[in-house]
Amino acid sequence: MLWFGCLYIPWLTMGCIQSITCKSRIKRENIVVYDVSATIDPSPTVIEESSPIVLRYKTPYFKASARVVMPPVPRNETWVVGWIQACTQMEFYNTYSDIGMSSWELPDLREGRVKAISDSDGVSYPWYGNTTETVTLAGPTSKVSRFSVSMNDNFYPSVTWAVPVSDSTLPLLTRIKRDQSFSTWLVALNTATKEKILLQTIKWRMRVDVEVDPGQPLGRRARLVGRAQQDQPRILTRMEPIPANALVKPNANDAQVLMWRPKRGQPVVVIPPK
């Protein structure tokens, strides 16, 4: 049985505590976080070759969850507790024989102008989403609130068999390499004052390496090489601050640009940022 400030939780034992954050910013009581979980499914990336136009692949899911004990919320205050995620590094190259490669890029991140880019759903800024990812508590509440928040993420893109700047449909794709890193935060946010209490920081990475033989029949061209399983996420023991630009537009989907980088000649913008 544990006491945290003036919040008594008889059912919480040391064996189940992943993270406990006790801050006095909510003056009357503390916020307690426990049963923090962050995993990537152990299954390998799945390659799909059903389309004559594109190869698709589906990576295993990153999943994060936590249980939260929130103190009573005063009158005229509203708090949102949930997950915020940002992309901190991205390499995504698709090689087409000896002709060149296409690449999805985040120019500001690639050139070091920012440290991270929001990975919000594009609607619920700064949150990753607004279903299981967040809980909203509007005051006044007279009792302690107990709830869970969870999120999941994976990649399921399409890559053209043919060179994306060509009118030809001849399959020339020979390699797909992707390496992307994220920081994910559990945060309590006062919607009026914008005060943020960081409760947990998680770091994770997803890597994909696919070899393609375009001369093979459809359905037998691609194979996964390298790792069959991803490295598991790291739940940090110390809070990591959220870069300011990771809380606002644009999100990674809107900021990314598809480039064609030929072996010879100048790069071409295939799909500009939104």
Under DSSP, the state recorded for 125 is T
Q: Answer whether 257's CB lies under 8 Å from 273's CB.
A: yes
Residues 6+ apart with CB under 8 A from 14: 2
Assigned token pair, 136: 């909203």
Residue ranges per structural domain of the chain: 16-271
Q: Tell me the residue ranges of DSSP E strands in the chain.
A: 2-4, 7-9, 32-40, 46-48, 54-58, 62-70, 78-96, 100-105, 117-118, 134-138, 145-153, 158-160, 173-190, 196-212, 222-224, 234-235, 257-262, 268-271
> For residues 34 and 26, what is the distance between their CA atoms, to the nearest angstrom?
18
* pLDDT-above-90 percentage for the chain: 86
Mind listing the pLDDT tens digit for each residue in 55-97?
Answer: 999 999 999 999 999 999 999 999 999 999 999 999 999 999 9
Mind listing the pLDDT tens digit for each residue in 173-228?
Answer: 999 999 999 999 999 999 999 999 999 999 999 999 999 999 999 999 999 998 88
> For residues 178 and 180, what is the distance between their CA atoms, to the nearest angstrom?
7
Q: Is the pTM of this model over 0.85?
A: yes
Cβ count near 10 (within 10 Å): 8
Assigned token pair, 77: 């205050």
Of 262, 216, 269, 246, residue with least CA distance to 94: 262
